[in-house]
Amino acid sequence: MPSTHGVSTRSKNADQHPGLAVKKNTRRSSKEVAAERQAKEDAKLEKARTKAAGIKRVAEYEMAQASKDAADATPRAAPQAKPLARTRSYADVLKGVTMR
């Protein structure tokens, strides 16, 4: 026969109900659920709009920088072609020969 000697309930826990420690979620109406879903969807769309606006702003900035860099770039000087200069003279070996 088991002895219960020495086992006692703590005085603080004598009137507590552990099943009630965690309160159950109350049921929500369909209107509340729909409102929450709509709020989540709105937040999602707003986040997407913000992201798209940021990407567009960065793209515009990069395009402006590219055009600014192109305008500021030093134009490359075109090389000047040197005129041909004859350095040697050759005898006209075909002078006086008739070709058939």
Predicted confidence (pLDDT) per residue in 18-61, tens digit: 766 677 778 899 999 999 999 999 999 999 999 999 999 999 99
* Two structure tokens written together for 58: 């960065």
pTM: 0.45
Query: Which amino acid type is present at position 50?
Result: T
63: which DSSP letter?
A: H
The set of residues, in sequence order, having a beta carbon less than 8 Å from that of 36 and lying 6+ positions away, is: 28
For the record, the structure tokens of 98 come out as 């008739």
Short-list 19, 18, 22, CA closest to 9: 18
Distance separating alpha carbons of residues 64 and 58, to the nearest angstrom = 10
**Cα→Cα distances 6→3, 15, 47, Å:** 8, 20, 62
pLDDT digits (tens, 9 = 90+) for 48-99: 999 999 999 999 999 999 988 887 777 778 888 888 887 777 777 777 777 7
